[in-house]
Structure 1
Amino acid sequence: MEDEWQALLGELESYLKALEAQVMNLLLPSRLYQIAILIGCLIAAWLLRRWIGPRMHERMRQLEGWPKWRLRVLVVIHRRLQLIFFAALAWAATFTVRLFTNFPSRSYLLELVATIATAMLLVSLAARLVRNAMLRKIVTWALWVYVILFYLDLLDETAALLDSAAVSFGDFRLSLLSVLKALVVTAVLFAGARFLTSTVSAQVSRNEDISPSMRVLIVKVLQVGLYAAAFFIGLKAVGFDLTGLAVLSGAIGVGLGFGLQKVVSNLVSGIIILMDKSIKPGDVISLGDTFGWIETLGARYASVVTRDGKEYLIPNEDLITGQVVNWTHSDNYVRIDLTFGTSYHDDPHKVRELAVQAAQRVERVLKFRPAVCHITGFGDSSVDYVLRFWIRDPVEGLTNVRGQVYLALWDIFKENGITIPFPQREVKVLPGSEVVARVTPPGGSAPAPGEDAPA
């Protein structure tokens, strides 16, 4: 460990000396006027951005009919106006100094800074390919540091310094340089894997010959395979011994297996669901009090969206072990039962006919599967019926179609004089009984039992 610290301190001293030499080279008295020119270019770029930026932004707000890709290009340019102006002014100053002087050293610093500014501009534009905002910033700053070190001729010294910052575990040596290389290679491979996954997923999603559940399964297997390959290839590319990693991962896997039983169970349940096609994206299901349609099937959970816009994330294990009602497993046809009652004075034959006609008035009720109405019993206050009809779009909701049929029943019963009764009670006074009415005056007390109410 002491030898490693001595090596690190030696490399750090060498690096600081190389950096000092570069700085002193750039700050020679003959180049002070170039520094003044660059400061002037920076101030001019800032003023131009302050003057042109708001006008360009206002002009962009008026270009509503332009294609989106052109507007995106303008937004990218607008956000980098100062860097664009600075690079352009630095190059203009470089060519102007070259035009009036015959010594290349008179424009060396100007050309160097202009080149670095141009490279940083190209890096920031290329980084737009990274969609994640946080990751885009990390990539941009990392490439900017690389560009600056490259043009200042400090790459070798920086690599030596990073390689000296290392720790050893027996025969295995892990340095900061190898970690950075592993991160860069793995990130590039992950980006390639993500691009391939999105491309293949788009192709699979458009293939109507493959069932929805198999499409999801193919995409998930492809994602796991490509990302795993990118990870292990990235480690192998920088010299990691995967044999030791395999032994270590096996030991860790045994420990994690006990702690992550639910996670593993959900992963396996998700694969089973995708393979047996019991539930697939677009199916309408009921699970307990949750009724909605499957939006997506993930590796750990299924996303169920209800009619009120809520999105429930149901673990895959619950879909395997629990009782799930899949309204659209084999087809989209759903039968709905409505119960109602009518007065004993109404003809039940006519009531049944009118109920079927009311159901046929609703647009979502299927006509080729006729509705039926049956008497289910004689209640205390009404004759009870059940009306059964079919729909084939349960994803549009069940409560609303029930309400529409109930309104149609109300309307057709009103048109034909059918009465919908409510509970009633009859009180009969037996012969020889006496009925006494007692009235309590406002603000007074009730008469005592046996006393007549005041007249």
Structure 2
Amino acid sequence: MDIVDKLIDDFNNSSAWLEFFIVLGGLLLAYVCVRFWGRHLKHKGRAASVWFGSNPLHGAMFPLMALLWIYIAQAITVQYMPVFWLRIAISLLCSLTVIRFVARVLSKSFPQSTGMRLIERVFSWMVWGLAVLHSLGLLTQVLAELDAVRLTLGKSQISLLSLIEGALSTGLMLVVVLWVSSLFEQHVINRWVGDLSMRKVSMNVTRGVLITVGLLLALSWVGMDLTTLSVMGGAIGVGLGFGMQKIASNYVSGFLVLIERALRIGDNVRVDGFEGRITDIRTRFTVIQALNGRESIVPNETLITQRVENLTQSDRRFSLSTTMVVGMDSDVEQVRQVLLAAAASQPRVLAQPGPSVQLVDFLEHGLQFSLNYYISDPQNGQGNIRSDVNLAVLQGLRAAGIQLPVPRQVLEWSGGAPGAKDVKVDPEAVDHRA
């Protein structure tokens, strides 16, 4: 009852209207500051999504600035009279700042994770509960009751308060680590590392190191002896040696692929008969997306131990080819010029290096040519550019009057209908022009 009497006494002795105007002024001042600051950063292209949203009220900076101004006002006002509403406003704004910060970081790091949405809601309710208890002056008693509840773990006892503090401190440390790693990626890695694969491995290494350091700091803050982790480390080592060989192998293989850069994000590859473009290289597997949208999840160990065809040149060129057969008496130079002109007429075909034509073989029914050309955007489709080049080749050969021979299998085809007689087509009677 002492706490309730103190709250009633503070409420009666406080000037509600004065505190209300102080809170309103702090909110307006914070809105003006965040709006001006957000526009200034957006004009320079450096607006941080964690602190500034689409408008000043959506980011975490607004409650933080309001908390700062109202806290300064409370420090001055409390010297002259008791405060009630200012104390509640500070507790609510502090909770809102933490919730906004955690929610922004989690939504940016895990944009499509439903589990993170659940964790975010649970954390928000816990923070709001702590804010209410602190405003009512009941937080100290609740913490004392939680500390009195003891749980026996083996030969040691630990309080429920220590478990809650450990979980919250570890979670907040991980959120801070994710935020710091995101800032490091945005301002350092993206600016100084141009290659996508090296950018990915740099980000993975940075995040792994920061998470490890953050966990060790969080465990030390809750009073856990870090020397006891040596036993856990030994157990993990044994597990990796026996039951987690594939996971460890894929994990190490992923870093080797990224570091050696034999395969890079954006390369077009063929693995085990599946052809597509590498869209992501993760710690355990690589994602390869085909032209029709299908995705193949390939373990990183496969990329190290098996044969992989990289269809993309080192300078990001992609080679395509098409073959055709013309009549034996065709002018070779004329055919070559027609094929080169057909490939050069397509905008997606690169001029440097330009298309090339080779006389591949002498067949029984004609001369076989191969037209090779390069494109730089295989993600836009390979079948359509092949079709466009083939149509241009066909039109060019027809316009030049170059004969396209009919294969002997077509000329000697016989019908299979009941009662039908074998029919042989006279080759001299066939129009050899396409």
What's the counterpart of residue 429 of structure 2?
none
Q: Which of the residues 247, 256, 259 maps onto 2:243?
A: 259
In structure 2, what is the equivalent of residue 12 of structure 1? none
**What is the CA–CA distance in structure 2 between the aligned matches of 1:228 and 1:74, rounded to whole Å?**
34
SS at match of 1:72: coil
Alignment partner, residue 376 of structure 1:
361
User: SS of the counterpart of 1:192?
Assistant: helix
Unaligned runs of 5+ in 2: 17-41, 67-80, 108-116, 414-418, 422-434
C-alpha spacing 1:437/1:285, structure 2 compared with 1 (3 Å): closer
Structure 1 residue 386 and structure 2 residue 357: aligned?
no
1:304 aligns with 2:276: no
Q: What TM-score, normalized by structure 1, do the two folds share?
A: 0.66
Partner of 1:99: none
Distance 1:437 1:263 in 2: 64
One-letter identity of the residue aligned with 2:351:
L
User: Which residue matches 1:420?
Assistant: 404
Highest Rg: 1 or 2?
1
Q: 2:92: which partner in 1? A: 120
Measure, in 2, the Cα distance between the counterparts of 1:310 and 1:352. 37
Whole-angstrom distance in 1 between the partners of 2:420 and 2:263: 68
Q: Aligned with 1:411: secondary structure?
A: helix
C-alpha displacement of 1:182: 1.2
Residues 355-391 of structure 1 show CA distances to partners (whole Å, capped at 9, x for unaligned) of: 2332232331435545113151324xx3141323231
Aligned residues: 357
1:269 Cα deviation after fit: 0.4
Residue 351 of structure 2 corresponds to 366
SS at 1:377 equivalent: strand
Equivalence map 1:21-40=2 (5 Å):
22=3
Matches within 5 A, 1:204-215: 204-208=189-193, 211-215=195-199
Q: Which amino acid aligns with 2:337?
A: E
Does the 8 Å contact 1:166/1:175 carry over to 2?
A: yes
- Find the residue that maps to 2:55 and give its secondary structure: helix
Q: Which residue of 1 aligns with 2:56?
A: 73
Structure 1 residues 170, 365: closer, same or farther in 2, change over 3 A? closer
Q: Does the C-alpha gap of structure 1 residues 321 and 426 become closer, same or farther in structure 2, counting only changes over 3 Å?
A: closer
Contact 1:355 1:409 survives alignment (8 Å)? yes
Q: In the TM superposition, what are the counterparts of 1:147-162 in structure 2 within 5 Å?
A: 147-162=131-146
Cα 1:426–1:229 change in 2 (3 A) is closer
Q: Which residue in the other structure is 1:319 paired with? A: 303
What's the offset of the Cα at 1:155? 2.6
> TM-score of the superposition, structure 2-length normalised?
0.69
What letter matches 2:158 in structure 1?
A: L
Give identity over the alignment, percent: 27
For the 8 Å contact 2:311–2:318, the answer to whether it is kept is yes
- SS, match of residue 391 in structure 1: strand
2:316–2:376 Cα contact (<8 Å) kept: yes
Q: Tell me, which stretches of 5 or more residues in structure 1 are unaligned? A: 1-19, 38-65, 85-103, 428-435, 439-455
Let me know the Cα RMSD of the aligned residues: 4.1
How many Å separate the matches in 2 of 1:256 and 1:158? 43
Query: Which range is displaced more, 257-266 or 112-121?
Result: 112-121
1:216 paired residue among 167, 185, 200: 200
**Closer, same or farther in 2 for the Cα pair 1:118/1:405, shift >3 Å?**
same
The CA deviation at 1:222 is 1.3
Residue 221 of structure 2 is aligned to residue 241 of structure 1: no
